[in-house]
Structures are given as C-alpha cells and as structure tokens.
A and B are shown apart, each in its own frame.
Chain A
Amino acid sequence: MTEVITTDRPEADQDPSPARLIVTLALAGLISGVAIVGIFEATFSTIAENKARELREAVFKVLPSVTQMQELAYLNDQLMPLPQGESAEKTIYAGYTEEAKFVGYAIPGEGPGFQDTIKLLYGYMPADRKVVGMEVLESRETPGLGDKIYKDAVFVGNFSDLPIDPVIEVVKKGRRDSDNQVDAITGATISSRAVVRIINETNEIWLDNLPAAGSEPEMPAKSDEVAHD
C-alpha cells in the first residue's frame, strides 16, 4: 500500500467532548440539508416540465390526430375540466383536434404486473367503443421478455383498433379469431395479461360514468393546456 498516514495530532489522543461531537454532526446535517434543498429548488421546475411533457406526448400518441388536451375530473358528480392548480384523485384526459373537435379520452390505469406495478395510458374513443392506442408509462417488467409490452410493436399494435365489448381477451399468439382479442407475447404471458386486465378494470371504473356521446366537455378556446405537436 502506498497510502501515507499523516503524523498523529496531539489533540487526537484526547477524547473530544460530547458537545463537540454533537455540534460536528449537527453542522454536517445542516449544511447537507441546505445543499439538498438548494438542488431540489434548482431542479424542481425542470422535473415538473419533463413530467408534463411526457404525459402530453403520451396522450398525443394514444389518440390519433389529437393536438390539444385537457385534464378532466369528476367535480360535483360531473365530468369537467380540472381547474388549474387543483388536483383530484382520479383524472382522465380528453383529446381534441386542431379545430377543438372532441376525439376521445386518454385514460390512465395501473395494476400489478409480473414484477411491479405497471402504469399505462390508453386511448378510448367512445363513439366506436374502441381502444385506439396504448402506452406504458412505468413498469419494471423483465428486460427482454416482459418489457415487450412496450417494446414489441406487434403487441402494442394490438391496441390500435380494439373493440372493448364484451371484454378484451388475451389469447395465445396466432389463435386470434375475434376482434376483441389480443395476441399474448410468447414468454411474457403474465405481463400481456396484466396489460389487458388493467385496461378492462379501468374500463369498468370509467366507462359507465362517461357523459353521453356528443356532450363531452368542450375544449376552451384559449387554454394554458393548448399545445401543438
């Protein structure tokens, strides 16, 4: 070892007083606290922006020809746009075309996967009662197998035009004989089933409560949520 040990200092032989130990640790904690709060403050707005952008991109991805969106929630038993700055337990997103024409809902859902909770967002068009897109937002499925639920274009493509009645079913690859069926991924049956189960369960929560076709909340003409892709 080439490490050099500095000569012992005389005061190192005496035990420092407990007060000194406490002061040292308290100071270290204080400086550390200030540093952590500083970095949190410095990065907070960027992190919030990243999250909002990711969500917006996901909504545009699962709903075709959508360029505007707004967050909706049930307030006083009515589905309405969530006022800025407020939060609700359960929210969905409504997507609109450039001309503010309603296209469909982007519904977030989550449930247990093979390893951990899978969070996803899917596009639903009430006019056709069809799922029109699915995007996994968060998952820890096995790399190379379970992660095909978002990496395998064929599996994701299953959800681009999928009738939801009576329920979505998972079948073994190649055995698909009905429109409401999804081909499972070979080697990742549990993850495939999890995705479909999440969508079915989320449908149960939301679909009966959605407003009748034609009476969807309108996109306000000038909104902070407006974004162009």
Chain B
Amino acid sequence: MTESENRDYNEFIKGIWRDNPVFVQVLGMCPMLAVTNSAINAIAMGGATLFVLVGSSFLVAAFKKLIPKQVRISCFIIIIATFVTVADYTLLALVPGVHKELGAFIPLIVANCMILGRQEAFASKNTVRLSVMDALGMSTGFVIALFTLGAVREILGAGSLFGISLFGAAWEPWVIMILPPGGFLTLGLILLVFNWMTHRKQMFMEKVAEAQRSGS
C-alpha cells in the first residue's frame, strides 16, 4: 500500500470506528433517535445523509479557495441545503412510502451537526480526495450506527426486521422500544458497550506497556 492510499484508508476507516460520529463524537442525535424505529427507516435516513455529506464535502473541498472565510458557514449551509432538497425530492419520487415515514426529518438533515461539522473541521482544510474519503467513512459509520439502533429497536419493539416477522404471532412486541424512550434506552446501552470496549482496550495496552517495561 502506498503512502497516499494508506492515508485514504485511514481517513475512511476512522469514521467507522475510532471517530464514529454517533458512538464516539455523539453528533447527529436528532435523526439518530427520531427515525430509528425500524431498520428500513434507519437505512433510508443513513443513505440520504451519506449522499448529502459526500456531495457537500466534495463541493466544499473543491471550492474552498473561492469561499471567503467570513461567509464560509453560509456557503456550507447553502450547499448542504441544496443536497438535502435534492435528496428530499428524489426519495419522494422513488420511495414515497419511506418518505412518508421519515417525514420532517429529511429536511432536518440540513441541521445535522455532523455534516456541517465535517465541512468546518475537515473538507474546508483538505484536498477533494481526502475530503470525499473522510465523508464516505463518516457517513458509513453513521449508517452502521443508525442501522444497529434501528435493527435492535425493530426486533424488540415490533418483533420483525425489515418488516419480516421473526417470532411469529405469539410474540408480544415490546412497544416502548419503538417509542422515543426506547431510542434513548438503546442508544445509552450501545454507548455503554462502546465505552466499555474502549476502556478495556486501553487497560490492555497499558498492561502490555508495563510488561514491556518490566521485561527489558
């Protein structure tokens, strides 16, 4: 792997795990909690966000030299809002059912702080190529997080996944899981597991370092 490929890979992979926008940075919580009551909604919201983030990062990185820094936030928002409108109409035309479920949360992608955050923190300072890799990584991480939450909530709250019933008629759905409290509960538990794993890894690394010190 050449150095630049390695760099691309790093920018991509950091969004999925180390700097995951949801589990680590805890950004974009509004769509995260609002539309993850089923796996298909989560995927649709994740896909729309991926499209908006990649498109915006590409444009912002390409035109960063032309945008004076005093009006950069306004320009970012105009770019993001345009992509969101495109996503909104496209979903309405192609999958009206999903669009109906997501409702007001598609226009609200404009206000997803993860997207503006990536423009300000990354795309406005890096090359087009790295910005697109970064956007792809971050939005893939976001899709994975949304899907995890959506799948857990749909399985527990409706007894199905992608609308396919899993447990048969005898299963009594745990309705609260698809209501807002279920979102907070599931997200909290996932964050707990994530932090616990990070902590364990840290402890392990410390132990290794200590063993190396005492060994030498």
Contact = CB atoms under 8 A, between A and B. Distances in A.
A9 B125 CA distance: 12
A25 B75 CA distance: 7
Contacts of B185: none
Contact of A47 (B68, B89, B130): B89
A50 B69 CA distance: 43
A10 interface: no
Interface string B79-114: 101100110011011101000100100000000000
Contact of B67 (A3, A24, A47): A24
A139 B157 CA distance: 20
Is chain B's interface secondary structure helix, strand, loop, or mixed overall?
A: helix
Contacts of B158: 144
A53 B75 CA distance: 39
Contacts of A76: none
Is chain A's interface secondary structure helix, strand, loop, or mixed overall?
A: helix
Nearest to A20: B68
A16 B89 contact: no
Contacts of A51: 96
B175 interface: yes
A142 interface: yes
Interface in B145-169: 157-158
Contacts of A16: 68, 70
B93 to A, nearest CB: 4
9 contacts: A15-B70, A21-B71, A24-B67, A25-B74, A25-B78, A32-B82, A36-B82, A39-B89, A40-B89
Interface of B: 10-11, 14, 37, 65-71, 74-75, 78-79, 81-82, 85-86, 89-90, 92-94, 96, 100, 103, 121-122, 125-126, 130, 157-158, 173, 175, 178-179
Given A31-B82, A140-B103, 7 more contacts: A5-B125, A15-B70, A25-B71, A43-B89, A43-B93, A47-B92, A144-B158
The 10 A-B pairs at the shortest CB distance, nearest first, are namely A144-B175, A43-B93, A46-B93, A32-B82, A16-B68, A43-B89, A28-B78, A39-B86, A143-B178, A50-B96
